Chains A and B, each alone.
Chain A
Amino acid sequence: MKVRQVSVFLENKSGRLYEVCRCLAEAEVNIRALAIAETADYGVLRLIVNDPDRAVRALNENSFTVSETEVIAVEVPDKPGGLASVLAPLYDANVNIEYLYCFVEKSGESAIVVFRVEQIDRAISALQGGGFTVLREEEVYRI
């Protein structure tokens, strides 16, 4: 139920994002979803990829600062109120969300929301209790 997210530290200077992506391309790693958090001086690139091990190896070999974080991925109906409906059980369970980002499935019927929360196990049971599909690792990497 927990998905491995690969995070990369990037200074705010031109070409760095391209270099990460080129490094992953050369390792034949496919990016499933990504989000960037930024400050004035640097950013943190968060990636869901098809093969986290290979991605981490490639990035390390190219001297990037990399860390892995456990996140959860939830299927949400792609319609108005979709995100609100999935946040409700987390709110009720008193789960603190650090950040989230979304991507849309190819079929277009549902969106996938990636959550980074403080209480990951509590979040998973709250979501499952609310009738949501928490995606398994392999499912996410295959999307």
Chain B
Amino acid sequence: MDYFNPVEVLEREELEKLQLKRLQETVDRLYQKVPFYRKKLDEAGFRPGDIKSLDDLKKLPFTTKDDLRDNYPFGLFAVPMRDIVRIHASSGTTGKPTVVGYTANDIRTWADLVARTIVAAGGTPDDIVHVAYGYGLFTGGLGLHYGAEMLGATALPMSGGNTKRQIRMMVDFGSTILCCTPSYALNIAEVMREMGVTLDDIKLKSGILGAEPWSDEMRVQIEEALRISAHDIYGLSEVVGPGVSIECAEKRGLHVFEDCFIPEIIDPSTGEVLPPGQKGELVFTNINKEGLALLRYRTRDISSLETSPCPCGRTHVRMSRITGRTDDMLIIRGVNVFPSQVEAVLMQIPGLSPHYQLVVDRVENLDVLEVQVEVSPEIFSDEIKRLEELEARIRDEVQSYLGVSVKVRLMEPRSIQRSEGKAVRVIDKRKI
């Protein structure tokens, strides 16, 4: 199969016509149905009829994660709740998660998008798609699952963790496509070696890897360790989930499915749109979504766009791998973590000093998050068991809040570096 949906190879002119029509409809609908957008567009002096060409997009106001938080949980939904058939959620910067909702049509569109990504990674209806992304509020597991079924392939809903069992199933069932974070793919390869499972025992041919930043060096490692073709997949729940973009066989950028999302690259400080090839903040506008459609959503991810034709035949623009963030969000084993969330938990524990630091490292291909906390005289006890209780309490509370396991290290006062101005909260030792 060359592609899943003919729209992937639509002539640019046709594609842009489709985009304009969908953008006009979306802006019109949001203006009518979402008070937040009506207010925002009114303030910008914008009427729905003002979209005459795709170029007018840049006159629209941005949407941010804070806007989602301020309208928590369902305030930005553009349909009544009776039409919402699915909810997902991801981390918010503080307190409340970012909540997204899908109509039945949205679920179908999303599954179609993911089916396109599986085909781009070499998948066909004959494949067994081993989904090792987490199932639940996180969009990774269910997103890939529905996409595999839409393609007509066999979905294997493994979810994350229990690596040995993953490998046994992979051997017994003959999984051909592995979907997980790139670091977990490496971890699986390592555990396979420990178990004495060889590459001849498995039938993997491709990997659809994402939910965290990675590099071409890591791709080489993964492709050698598992003898597969490794493809970067990108997505975020606010926009739809996995399936916003994917690397085709060329692996020179990720095709953004432009019939559903219009990507822009902006200067994060001025908001100015940057020309193709220039690095900046990635912004998406939903043009084919009913439940939650966002105008010019600022992802905080840093990327660039490549508009030259791709030898694969897909006409959709390519974005570069994500090379960083414009905020302090961390991705730990595929889970988004904001230092502000950790701070919120620590501040609720009496006696803890406001001085803390997060140290992220990658040990045997798994991300390890260490929370370093200074021991103040108020909480210091000369009994080790009390200190261990304190450590356990901090660990449990942070873990249940973030949904990711952490290690807690108690530190001497003043041992965490004080900085002038903005405190250095994160030391990221990972080499990606």
Whether A associates with B in a native complex is: yes
Residues of A within 8 A of B (CB): 5, 7, 9-11, 16, 37-39, 41-42, 44, 46, 63-67, 69, 98-99, 116
Closest to B414 in A: A63
Chain A: minimal CB distance from B254 (Å)? 41
Q: Say which residue of A39, A41, A65 sits within 8 Å of B377 (CB atoms).
A: A65
Closest to B379 in A: A65
B387 neighbours in A (Cβ, 8 Å)? 39, 42, 44
Whether the Cβ atoms of B383 and A66 lie closer than 8 Å is: no
With contact pairs A39-B388, A65-B375, A66-B377 given, residues A11 and B382 touching in the complex (Cβ less than 8 Å): no
Chain A: minimal CB distance from B412 (Å)? 5
With contact pairs A10-B412, A11-B415, A39-B388 given, residues A67 and B376 touching in the complex (Cβ less than 8 Å): no
Provide the bound-state CA to CA distance between A39 and B109, in Å: 54
Whether the Cβ atoms of A42 and B410 lie closer than 8 Å is: yes
Q: Say which residue of A9, A16, A99 sits within 8 Å of B375 (CB atoms).
A: A9
Provide the bound-state CA to CA distance between A99 and B387, in Å: 15
B375 neighbours in A (Cβ, 8 Å)? 9, 65
* Chain B 365-420 interface residues, beta-carbon cutoff 8 Å to A: 375-377, 380-384, 387-388, 409-415
Whether the Cβ atoms of A39 and B384 lie closer than 8 Å is: yes
Residues of B within 8 A of A (CB): 375-377, 380-384, 387-388, 409-415
Provide the bound-state CA to CA distance between A16 and B412, in Å: 10
Whether the Cβ atoms of B382 and A46 lie closer than 8 Å is: yes
Provide the bound-state CA to CA distance between A3 and B15, in Å: 84
B412 neighbours in A (Cβ, 8 Å)? 9-11, 16, 63-65
With contact pairs A11-B412, A42-B410, A44-B387 given, residues A65 and B376 touching in the complex (Cβ less than 8 Å): yes
Whether the Cβ atoms of A44 and B382 lie closer than 8 Å is: yes
A63 neighbours in B (Cβ, 8 Å)? 412-414
Provide the bound-state CA to CA distance between A63 and B414, in Å: 7
Chain B: minimal CB distance from A72 (Å)? 15
Closest to B411 in A: A11
Closest to A7 in B: B382
A46 neighbours in B (Cβ, 8 Å)? 382
B410 neighbours in A (Cβ, 8 Å)? 9, 11, 41-42
Most central of B382, B384, B388, B411 by chain A CB within 10 Å: B382
A42 neighbours in B (Cβ, 8 Å)? 387, 410
Chain B: minimal CB distance from A8 (Å)? 9
Chain A: minimal CB distance from B368 (Å)? 14
B380 neighbours in A (Cβ, 8 Å)? 7, 9, 65-67
